[in-house]
């Protein structure tokens, strides 16, 4: 692939930006749990290499690419183009992610579904339900970026929008990749490691880093400034 879109975090390690995360004793309810994380750089290529492309369809595998409300969603258009080089792609965006996604810049062959589509496509009993149809259509689901909010929802089994309804109905015999993206204060919160452990036990393939905010960059989030290029380690 000529133009790879990396989810990569420039700058220092997480603990240097926000201090070391709190440590709790073994009996504490917020004791830090460390989920196994995938170690390299996340790209569309790394997902392709991991999968081996053994799918039932005669041509390209079907990838459902979803974005949640992290500023890292500014790269969603580039991810759509990268995955389109080897897969048939459909896209899902949460309401919050649309603050960062320029819908007019998405490739013309990719349909973008939002929460409004979930409701507008169903009129009466017997009509198709969008989150079920997308779940059946896809061979693979990739959530990039996965915000702290959506991570918490998924770990708790919530399904209050199109993205989380698809996940709640997902067939776990099919791969589901997630790429967490959040500031270092959120990443170091003990809830984050517990939520990652929960979804890892469900069979999610979790990329092991988050966005690392650094000073003097172009995009700010929660008091930090962030590079337009965002990062997450990838599949081993």
Q: Of 39, 88, 98, give the one whose Cα is nearest residue 68.
A: 98
Percent of the chain at pLDDT > 70 equals: 64
Phi-psi region of 23 (alpha: psi -120 to 50; beta: other; left: phi over 0): beta
Instruction: Please state, in angstroms and rounded to a whole number, the distance separating the CA atoms of residues 208 and 233.
Output: 5
pLDDT digits (tens, 9 = 90+) for 39-94: 445 667 767 776 665 555 557 899 999 999 998 899 999 999 999 999 999 999 99
Q: Helices 76-84 & 44-51, crossing angle to 10 degrees? A: 40
CATH class of 33-50+59-234: alpha beta
Phi-psi region of 11 (alpha: psi -120 to 50; beta: other; left: phi over 0): left
DSSP assigned state of 214: B
Higher pLDDT, 123 or 96: 96
Rounded mean pLDDT, 199-220: 60
**pLDDT reading at 38 higher than 90:** no
DSSP H helices, 52-97, are 76-84
Instruction: Please state, in angstroms and rounded to a whole number, the distance separating the CA atoms of residues 30 and 148.
Output: 16
DSSP assigned state of 103: G
Q: What pLDDT sits at residue 107?
A: 95
Report yes or no on whether pTM surpasses 0.85.
Answer: no
């Amino acid at each position: 692939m000529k133009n790879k879109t990396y989810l990569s975090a420039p700058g220092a390690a997480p603990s240097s930006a926000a201090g070391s995360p709190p440590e709790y004793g073994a009996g504490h309810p917020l004791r830090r749990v460390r989920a196994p994380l995938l170690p390299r750089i996340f790209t569309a290529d790394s997902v392709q290499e991991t999968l081996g492309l053994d799918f039932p369809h005669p041509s390209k595998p079907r990838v459902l690419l979803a974005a949640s409300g992290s500023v890292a969603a500014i790269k969603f258009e580039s991810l759509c183009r990268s995955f389109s080089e080897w897969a048939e792609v459909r896209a899902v965006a949460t309401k919050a992610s649309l603050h960062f996604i320029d819908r007019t810049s998405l490739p013309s062959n990719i349909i973008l579904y939002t929460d409004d589509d979930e409701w507008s496509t169903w009129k009466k009993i017997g009509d198709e339900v969008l989150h079920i149809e997308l779940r059946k259509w896809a061979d693979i689901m990739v959530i990039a970026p996965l915000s702290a909010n959506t991570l918490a929802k998924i770990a708790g089994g919530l399904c209050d929008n199109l993205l989380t309804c698809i996940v709640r109905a997902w067939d776990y015999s099919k791969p589901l990749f997630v790429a967490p993206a959040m500031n270092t204060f959120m990443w170091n919160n003990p809830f984050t490691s517990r939520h990652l452990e929960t979804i890892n036990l469900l069979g999610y393939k979790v990329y092991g880093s988050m966005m690392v905010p650094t000073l003097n960059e172009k995009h700010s989030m929660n008091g930090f400034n962030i590079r337009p290029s965002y990062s997450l380690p990838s599949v081993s």
